[in-house]
Each structure stands twice: as C-alpha cells, then as structure tokens.
Amino acid sequence: MDTMDQKQLDDLAIENFRQYLRIKSVHPNPDYASCVSFFRTQAESTDLEFFVHEFVHGKPVIVMKWDGTDPQLPAVMLNSHMDVVPAGEDDWTHDPFGADMDEEGRIFARGAQDTKQLAIMAMEAVRRLKMRGVKLRRNVLITLMPDEEIGGADGMEKFVQSEDFDKLNVGFELDEGPVSPQEEYAVTNGERSSWKVKVRCRGFTGHGSMLVPGTPGEKLRIVLDRFMDFRQEELDKLQQDPNLWMADVTSTNLTVVEGGSALNVIPPEMSAVFDLRINPLMDFDKLEEKIRQWCSDAGEAVEPEFLAKQDKVPTTLIGEDNKWWTAFQKATDKLEMKIKPLILPATTDARFIRRAGIPALGFMPINNTPILSHGIDEYITAASLLRGIDIFQGVLQEVANVL
C-alpha cells in the first residue's frame, strides 16, 4: 500500500464513507452489486482476501480477511450490514442518498448511523494498522450482511449455519450497537426477542341494535385490558427504577386492530396484534402461559396466533471470566472511554452469532450524537467517523492479540 500522511488518510476515509452512503442499498430493491464492487476495490487497496457467498440468490455475504500471525487461533469478526430502510425524500432536508456534508462536518444519508459507518471504520482501521506495520495474532474478518433490516434469515442466519462460516473459525464478534447521545458509550451483550401475537375473538354476530352477551367486541376488550395491564406493569418498573433502561423490561404495544364491515352489524370476528419485545431474563414459557390464560379469560373462541416468535437470545458474559470482554475493556480504558453494558431493545444479526455459542458485543464507537437510525436527516459527523477509526484500531490491537 502507498504511504499516506494523516490528512490524506482522513480525507480518504471520509470520501469512502460518502461513496458507500451513495449506493442505494435500500429496500425493497437494494443495489448489492455496487456494494460488492465497492468493497472488492477496498479489499484490493488494503491487500485483504475477498470472498462473496450467496446462500440465497441476489443476497451476497461479503467477507474480507486479514491473516494474523497465528491463524489457527479463533478469529475476530467485525460485522455490519449493507441494507438500509427506505427514506422519504420529501421529509429530508438533504438527499438521503447524497451524503451531503455541511459546514459543521455532519454527513447526512440513510445508513449513516445504521450501519454503513461501521464497515468504513473497520476498513480504515485495518488500513492504518497495516500501514504502520502492526501485526495481530488472530485473523481479523470484516463481514457485511445483506438483509439485517428484514430479519437476517437469508444472510447471517444461513451464513452461520454454513461450512464457509465454520472454516473461518470465529471466536468473537463485534456487531452494531446504538449511537450514544451522551458521553458514555453503550456496549450491548444481549438483546430482546420479538414476538408478534395476533388474538382472534369470535362470537355472536347480528344487528347492531341487539344487546346480547358473547360478542367479539366484549372479548376483545378483555384481551386488550390484559395486554395493556401487563404493559403498564413493565412501564412502572422502568419509571420507578432510575437504574433501568428500556431493554431491561419487556415492552408491549398494540399495533393492529381489525374487524367489522358495516356500521350497523356486529362482526363475527375481531382481532388485535401486539408487538412484544421480551427481556432475555424473563421466563418465556411463563409469558406464553400468561397470554393463553388472558385469551381464556376473554371467553370461548378466543385464540392467540404467534405471527413471529423469536427464541430467547443468549447473552454474552460480562466480566473477568470472559477474556474477550476483558480485552475489549482494556482497550476502552486505554482510550479513556466511559462504557455502559446494556441489553439492546431491538434485534441485530449478532443474535445468530450468540445462538451459535460465540460471544458477541454490540458496539457503536459514536457518542454525543442524537439517535437518528431509521429517522429523518440521519447523520454522523466526519469527526466521529475518524474518532471511531481510532477506537477500532485500539480495540483490534487488544481483542485480536488476546490469548
């Protein structure tokens, strides 16, 4: 690789970030071909091995590899995803795929926080370490997934189940975490599981003037009360304990209500859909029993249907018994960073890694920044990107050298 001074390296990192942001890898038709071409070029310029796997046609999984001095040791994996959610151009003050940079150094684009910056931070950190002649003991893998925003079933889930993944001998993974609006950085060691429950209430139907027991509306009221009472119980826990945050409890939200076709007809069926995000410390079996009991309380012909039912996601051990955590914390201490371990409220591709028995942390090396992932005018600053590259260098030199 050619030698560059600090300004040239910084300019290159910012330009690469903006170029990546301009690729419209947005659902429902993400441009993955341009992502593959972009990262192939980056791998060549950084002298990294480059692989593309497709477990589902049109959904590439990218792997870039930097060999360590002891490649038999389990590798360190730095993961992010290429896909981004849609952005309504009329709502934004900047082109969501223009990667505009203002006078304050804010770079606006869909994916600026979720999670295109992570790939660039990893790439540029490796570039700088290699230019300085640094050798790491373990292999470093930079991976990019195609479908995290729509569940990860065709990307990370199939990747982890493949022989290609087994051959990489992954020992530890860093994945996405939340941007921090405060000084301290969030580090996630687990995440909540998502359940989508549809409750169908069937009952008496007839003219809207009749007053008889057993209508779907009566039953639905009881179901709504039970779910909303549970919601309030969890909300009370959150509000009464200042040491808790959103992911330390289970959230419940009513998202869809259906039923009825005429203003003067009692419908034969009404239904409601609830979105639950379940804390991993909760007993999942007991929660399901509760839901079924709530339906029973509402009367006959009230049935729950689990439209989505994620298994409990294992958490990664935080403490001295986990050498990866110890190494990670050593790096952040050296960098004088304040970190706070948390459970992530939502889900990421890291859950597939943890289910495979591999420790994983969610980490976004960006602080003092408003959380705008999936939001309007999503941005990070150029300074935070460059700071993140420095942080990644420090973290890699600890976790990729751990014995």
Q: What is the 8-class DSSP label of residue 247?
A: G
Asked if residue 108 lies in contact with residue 99, where contact means CB atoms within 8 angstroms, the answer is: yes
Beta-bridge partners for 275: 196, 253
Reading the block at residue 103, the tokens are 């006078």
Indicate which residue of 83, 114, 124, 157 is catalytic.
83
Write the single-letter amino acid at 196: K
E-state strands within 67-115: 75-81, 100-101, 106-108
Q: Please, how many CA atoms are within 13 Å of residue 225, restricted to the half-sphere of its CB? A: 10
| Residue in 41, 43, 16, 8 with CA at minimum distance from that of residue 130 | 43
Indicate which residue of 114, 124, 148, 234 is catalytic.
148
| CB-based burial, 248-276: b 16+ in 10 Å, e otherwise | bbbbbeeeeeebeeeeeebbbbbbbbbbb
What residues contact residue 37 under an 8 Å CB cut-off, 6+ apart?
none
The per-residue DSSP string of 21-48 comes to HTS--BTTS--HHHHHHHHHHHHHHHT-
Residue 144 Cα to chain centre, angstroms: 13
| Dist. CA 192–CA 280, nearest whole Å | 6
| CA distance to 80, 179, 364, 379, per residue, from 113 (Å) | 11, 7, 9, 6
148 is catalytic: yes
| CA distance to 94, 380, 389, per residue, from 386 (Å) | 22, 11, 5
3-class SS of residue 218: helix
Tell me if the bond preceding 115 is cis, omega within 30° of 0. Answer: yes
Please list the active-site residues. Answer: 83, 148
